[in-house]
């Protein structure tokens, strides 16, 4: 029985190629096999193919030159392209001199950047792939999503905690080692534990370095590894001409999947109440915002706002046009929105939302604007319909 339906739509005109980037196990290969059933497919995770093209990248060019017009009618798919950066030179030549077009799929551009690989100079559109989102899942279960995350095989697993633990041990640690991105695996494993507990908090490299017993420079590099391997995101502070003293230099970091953060922090949500549930809920909403931005091909920034006196808004979009506060409460009071009120007064944000567990939407009038309190499903329906930003 089908449990979900992916929203991403890759449509490539003649002679147009694409990169498809996404973390491991988000479902990229399944998506490509379903949507491009007639494509010639190369999977570089297969050791025989990896060895073949590593030794002689030109073999790819020779094989593709031998394809018929019918075989070239669909884009050629190369999975895990980052494993052999030299193939991009062959692909570049083929794009320039033949009718071949490609979908180049990968879980990390870091290795390509490290080797100064040919990224095709704008000849390939970029697409991003994510764990499941609210609009893709039939019979969506929020508590389940907060605990298991939304990587398809984890969300649908009969033993999601075992699947999540295996993901951490077999991918987050072993794959990082295989890619040569972290030299000391015990230290990297210790760092991951701290990442789980500090997920969504202001980053302090010095404090994290002390907790991990490593230097701050290494901590910063580890975070960059997570970002480059599509396993997390930096969310910067909102910066604009301001009156209040705001935190301007320190970003927050969020892992790419809420279940992964919960597993690393060894937390389980039983009820939709309390600070831990609130942090996970905030994380979930952020992942929806990021996925919507990429899947819907929207161009807006995501930041947070916090003053040194403690006023805060979780997410600021589109240079202050939209302000969003996330509350796990089922009855949001005015005091819960004091950060939003302060931000709206100072920056005249046009749209102000509290995303909550309230049963019905409500409106609070402000001096020069308003705040909409929305049940989270209403907010997400509006988001994916393009009505938020």
Which residue carries 């070239």 as its tokens? 72
Please check whether residue 289 is in contact with residue 319, taking contact to mean a CB–CB distance below 8 angstroms: no
pLDDT of residue 49: 96
**pLDDT of 307 strictly over 60:** yes
In a domain, 159, yes or no: yes
Please check whether residue 21 is in contact with residue 104, taking contact to mean a CB–CB distance below 8 angstroms: no
Q: What pairing do the DSSP bridges indicate for beta strands 322-326 and 362-366?
A: unpaired
Q: Are residues 158 and 270 in the same domain?
A: yes
Q: Are residues 219 and 249 in the same domain?
A: yes
Separation between Cα atoms, residue 77 and residue 36, nearest integer Å: 9
The tens digit of pLDDT for each residue in 336-369 reads: 999 999 999 999 999 999 999 999 999 999 888 8
Q: Are residues 106 and 54 in the same domain?
A: yes
Q: Are residues 108 and 139 in the same domain?
A: no
Separation between Cα atoms, residue 278 and residue 280, nearest integer Å: 5
Percent of the chain with pLDDT over 70: 93
Which structure tokens are listed for 6?
Answer: 């992916």
pLDDT of residue 349: 95
Separation between Cα atoms, residue 136 and residue 116, nearest integer Å: 36
Please check whether residue 213 is in contact with residue 194, taking contact to mean a CB–CB distance below 8 angstroms: no
The tens digit of pLDDT for each residue in 56-84 reads: 999 999 999 999 999 999 999 999 998 89
In a domain, 10, yes or no: no
Q: Are residues 119 and 202 in the same domain?
A: no
The tens digit of pLDDT for each residue in 229-243 reads: 899 999 999 987 655
Domain limits at 56? 17-128
Q: Are residues 83 and 110 in the same domain?
A: yes
Cα separations in angstroms, 223 against 106, 170, 205, 227, 268: 19, 19, 10, 6, 24
Q: Are residues 161 and 112 in the same domain?
A: no
Q: Are residues 98 and 144 in the same domain?
A: no
In a domain, 9, yes or no: no
Domain closes at, from 91, 109, 128 = 128
In a domain, 208, yes or no: yes
Q: Are residues 151 and 215 in the same domain?
A: yes
Question: How many domains, in total, are found in the chain?
Answer: 2
Domain closes at, from 106, 128, 150 = 128
Domain closes at, from 109, 128, 147 = 128
């Amino acid at each position: 029985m089908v449990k979900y339906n992916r929203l991403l739509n890759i449509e490539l005109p003649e002679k147009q190629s694409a990169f498809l980037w996404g973390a491991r196990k988000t479902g990229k290969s399944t998506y490509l096999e379903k949507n491009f059933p007639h494509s010639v497919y190369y999977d570089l995770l297969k050791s025989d193919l990896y060895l073949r093209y590593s030794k002689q990248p030109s073999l790819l060019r020779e094989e593709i030159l031998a394809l018929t017009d019918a075989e070239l009618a669909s884009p050629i798919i190369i999975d895990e392209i980052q494993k052999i950066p030299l193939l991009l030179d062959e692909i570049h030549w083929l794009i320039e001199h033949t009718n071949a077009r490609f979908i180049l799929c990968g879980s990390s551009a870091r290795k390509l950047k490290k080797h100064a690989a040919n990224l095709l100079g704008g000849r390939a559109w970029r697409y991003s792939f994510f764990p499941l989102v609210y609009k893709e899942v039939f019979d969506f279960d929020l508590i389940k999503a907060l605990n298991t995350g939304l990587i398809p095989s984890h969300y649908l697993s009969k033993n999601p905690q075992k699947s999540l633990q295996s993901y951490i041990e077999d991918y987050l640690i072993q794959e990082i080692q295989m890619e040569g991105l972290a030299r000391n695996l015990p230290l990297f494993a210790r760092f991951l534990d701290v990442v789980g507990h500090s997920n969504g908090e202001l980053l302090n490299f010095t404090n994290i370095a002390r907790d991990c017993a490593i230097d701050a420079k290494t901590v910063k590099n580890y975070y960059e590894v997570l970002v480059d391997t599509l396993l997390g995101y930096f969310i910067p502070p909102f910066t604009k001409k301001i009156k209040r003293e705001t935190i301007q230099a320190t970003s927050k970091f969020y892992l790419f999947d809420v279940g992964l953060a919960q597993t690393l922090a060894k937390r389980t949500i039983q009820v939709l109440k309390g600070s831990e549930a609130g942090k996970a809920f905030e994380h979930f909403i952020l992942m929806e915002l990021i996925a919507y931005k990429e899947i819907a091909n929207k161009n807006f920034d995501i930041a947070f706002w916090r003053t040194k006196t403690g006023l805060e808004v979780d997410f600021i979009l589109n240079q202050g046009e939209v302000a969003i506060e996330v509350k796990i409460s089922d009855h949001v009071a005015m005091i819960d929105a004091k950060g939003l009120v302060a931000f709206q007064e100072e920056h005249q944000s046009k749209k102000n939302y509290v995303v909550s567990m309230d049963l019905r939407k409500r409106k609070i009038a402000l001096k020069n604007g308003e705040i909409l309190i929305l049940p989270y499903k209403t907010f997400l329906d509006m988001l994916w319909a393009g009505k938020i930003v």
